[in-house]
Structure 1
């Protein structure tokens, strides 16, 4: 069983404010071609995006919304499920629906490193939540990326990054033991790995990565406060030092609403200023 290094961040606070409904029956348009559940979804989403329903707050109960909007509870339930699937709320059985979107946190603009220094320049507080750290044997997939034999033991670290107390990435790091042995485990809980690797004598000079869109479930979805099956941006990255040695393999899952990947593509065959 994985030990939990978290400080209770994932727990639902009993002190949350239970918001009263700010929606009314007149907010719905019976002549609108959009079905009622979609109109309710749009209304709730708008209030979440503008901060009326703040991050980590509890939405009104389905029964409350149904009465005040003059619709059935099934209609409200469908709208809530749509919000969860879109990553705006997280639903907990017996505890209600919690807003998981923060309008205070702008999307992180990423490059190949998305360094912590870059995030600090944005002026937002960045936190690292250490979820798991252990020595584990690797499967064929990880072994291939690191250029080692399957079942070789490596250091496995699982962390979640937060901006303004809102999770935006879930990261799994696989580090060869000859590199990890030079890193202080205590520092993994608060320092970015690019700094730790440099301090261990393996400064990262290149990276090879693959970017894909996929869905998440289980512990990853819960850590990112997303619904089961929600879409994320997944980046698989191999970091190398000056000797071309693979010093770490990383799988990072980013919330689609809080991460943007930017690149510039140039046509080298077109010469500037040519006729």
Structure 2
């Protein structure tokens, strides 16, 4: 439940920042005040604030506190782990997800290799298109280890898969290995995406891990070139 509390506070504070309850340049309440407000320990608050800092929402300044930054409104972080639902809400656009496929499969050799699993392990295959302002601009293909996530529903995949994993399954999504490329469009892209004269898409392939270092998800996310830019919020590590 501790991981749930940490993420609930992060989600609540990030939403308040996105909706300008905390203005850019202002400070969040102190760790002590936040701990009292949320009824948790200061250590839990520190974890939530650290995650806000890592994802570019705040800058911790000694003697001043947690200063709210302009996190951008329509960007996909390169190094952050942000769900489509979080990005879409932040953008202020009308958005939805359409689930085309949710099946339990015996994975191909390629998927077994990507998920580092054996022949005996079954995998959830999820194919979803992401619609923003009436245009389908992303095609996501997810493969999830069933041993780690035993059950999934279409409704969960339409809403927020990561929210379900962290809040309902009580697991903590921690880090990912990502590979970026620009690839020619496929017949599948033509079927599921609103393409104009596009001949290429940006492809992000991700292996996603829990906080105990278990690899639970492999994703291929295909993005229309003109609709999303990819950003990174980098921090210099000081000795």
- Distance across 2 between alignment mates of 1:221 and 1:137: 26
1:68-124: CA deviation from partner (whole Å, max 9, x where unpaired): xxxxxxxxxxxxxxxxxxxxxxxxxxxxxxxxxxxxxxx941113342223212211
Structure 1: stretches of 5+ with no match in the other structure: 1-106
Q: Return the offset for 1:242.
A: 1.3
Does residue 186 of the first structure (1) align with residue 154 of the second (2)?
yes
Aligned residues: 163
> What corresponds to 1:110 in structure 2?
76
Asked if the contact 1:221–1:230 (Cα under 8 Å) also holds between the matched residues in 2, the reply is no
- Distance across 2 between alignment mates of 1:240 and 1:231: 29
Does residue 224 of the first structure (1) align with residue 190 of the second (2)?
no
Residue 134 of structure 1 aligns to a residue in which SS?
A: strand
Asked if the contact 1:217–1:229 (Cα under 8 Å) also holds between the matched residues in 2, the reply is no
Question: Taking structure 1 as the reference length, what is the TM-score of the superposition?
Answer: 0.54
Structure 2: stretches of 5+ with no match in the other structure: 1-72
Q: Label 1:147 to 1:130 Cα distance change in 2 as closer, same or farther (>3 A).
A: same
| 1:153 equivalent among 116, 122, 127 | 122
> What corresponds to 2:139 in structure 1?
170
Question: Taking structure 2 as the reference length, what is the TM-score of the superposition?
Answer: 0.61
> What corresponds to 1:144 in structure 2?
113
- Distance across 2 between alignment mates of 1:141 and 1:211: 18
- Distance across 2 between alignment mates of 1:186 and 1:119: 19
Residue 237 of structure 1 aligns to a residue in which SS?
A: strand
- Greater per-residue strand proportion: 2
- Distance across 1 between alignment mates of 2:138 and 2:154: 21
Aligned-residue CA RMSD in angstroms? 2.5
Does residue 251 of the first structure (1) align with residue 220 of the second (2)?
yes
Asked if the contact 1:202–1:247 (Cα under 8 Å) also holds between the matched residues in 2, the reply is no
Range 204-213 or range 185-194, more displaced:
185-194
Residue 124 of structure 2 aligns to a residue in which SS?
A: strand
Q: Label 1:119 to 1:239 Cα distance change in 2 as closer, same or farther (>3 A).
A: same
